């Protein structure tokens, strides 16, 4: 069974939730956290976990590798969020921001590589050759 399309949808939901959480947190002073932003980020992380598990359980080696990358990135993002929550909250942490950016980029690369494969699979006609 091809699970790439639902996995891509879950990764896109993660991206939307992350952007919305960032926007909600960006309107507040640095010393305050938005509960709605936090809830959206948790929902986004759950969507990314679902996408990673779908890729991990799909047929084919590239899908499994992509699923492992997504799950590893989500674990990294959750750890960064936990460290940021446990911190003193006195301001921005450039190191945590850099690590968070790397995790987000890893998920984005997987989604960008997955999108053309999903589009090819949805086209009518003879099946496309697997790369």
Question: Using CA atoms, how far apart are residues 80 and 60, in angstroms rounded to an integer?
Answer: 31
Per-residue pLDDT tens over the stretch 24-70: 877 766 556 678 888 999 999 999 999 999 999 887 666 788 999 99
Cβ(117)–Cβ(8) below 8 Å: no
Rg of the chain (C-alpha set): 17
Give me the residue spans of the domains in the chain: 4-121
Token code pair at residue 49? 């976990």
Mean pLDDT of the chain: 85
CA 100 to chain CA mean position, Å: 11
């Amino acid at each position: 069974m091809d699970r790439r399309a639902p996995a891509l949808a879950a990764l896109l939901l993660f991206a939307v939730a992350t952007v919305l959480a960032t926007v909600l947190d960006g309107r507040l002073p640095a010393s305050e956290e938005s509960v709605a932003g936090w809830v959206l980020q948790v929902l986004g992380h759950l969507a990314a976990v679902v996408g990673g598990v779908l890729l991990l359980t799909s047929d084919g080696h590239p899908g499994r590798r992509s699923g492992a990358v997504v799950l590893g990135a989500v674990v990294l993002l959750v750890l960064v969020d936990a460290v940021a929550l446990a911190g003193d909250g006195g301001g921005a942490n450039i190191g945590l921001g850099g690590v968070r950016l790397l995790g987000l980029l890893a998920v984005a690369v997987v989604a960008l590589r997955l999108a053309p494969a999903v589009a090819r699979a949805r086209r009518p006609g003879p099946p496309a050759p697997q790369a």
